[in-house]
Amino acid sequence: MTLPSTPSFKLSGKRALVTGASSGIGLACAVALAEAGAEVTLAARSADKLKAIAQTLGDTGFKADVLPLDVSDIPAMQAAVAQAGPFDVLVNSAGLAIHSPAVDTLEGDFDRVSDLNFKGAYFLTTAVAQGLIKVGKSGSLINITSQMAHVGGIDRAVYCGTKHAVEGFTKAMAIEWGPHGIRVNTICPTFIRTALTEVTFDNPERVKWIEEKIKLGRVGEVTDIMGPVVYLASEASALMTGTHLLIDGGWTAD
């Protein structure tokens, strides 16, 4: 009798591009992929932060380099990815939130959030896919969206709209690139404690709302995303594409 064996979670020999890697969820994803054996390219606008992180990863025995990058600058981003790639794995964690009541949304704020969260994510994903298709390689492309890509939220109409949009193009791209062996999925976290979410957690009313929604009774930590990103990046999820992992503590269960 031959028993089945668990597909590998290891990423040895894989190259991974992680945007938004200078802090928060992006940094955690970069560390997780490096621990799984990937050679990680850290991308964000802050070159100094990236260099410090790459140095720390290198001192720990992992492989990492840096790629200063503004995802919303489409031509520059496309050129940088084409030159540095191809990448077997993409984790797009670059994102922006400017919250306000919908009736108070400023056009400039709408454009800033959309240019990064939607337009930038779209063309980043296509840029990495183009590199893979050109050399005939398969890959796993992962966009970090949000639980707000599946529900609505107070003062979050623009943010929700951009994240719903990413879920939409993820499905379309998964259909198009399936024949190339390129998988496209999303990770949808609940509220995660990071430097960017401090403002939310400083608001007692918002904290009460969050705690009532999360069925497991706690907010998320960046470590909650590390296992799921390795799963989606690896062969352990080889039949998953065009879908999402909700890491939301049960927020969307009702």
Q: Please give the positions annotated as active site.
A: 159
With contact defined as beta carbons under 8 Å apart, do 24 and 2 qualify?
A: no
* 54 to 43, 67, 241: CA distances (angstroms): 11, 11, 30
Cα angle: 182, vertex 186, 187; to 5 degrees: 135
With contact defined as beta carbons under 8 Å apart, do 37 and 235 qualify?
A: no
| The residue type at 9 | F
The values of phi and psi at residue 250, to 5°, are 95, 10
Between helix 47-59 and helix 24-35 the angle, nearest 10°, is 30
Look at residues 111, 76, 119, 75 and name the one whose alpha carbon lies nearest to residue 94: 119
CA-CA-CA-CA dihedral for 221, 18, 155, 158, to nearest 10:
-160
With contact defined as beta carbons under 8 Å apart, do 44 and 19 qualify?
A: yes
Where in 87-200 does DSSP place strands (E)? 89-92, 139-144, 182-189
With contact defined as beta carbons under 8 Å apart, do 188 and 166 qualify?
A: no
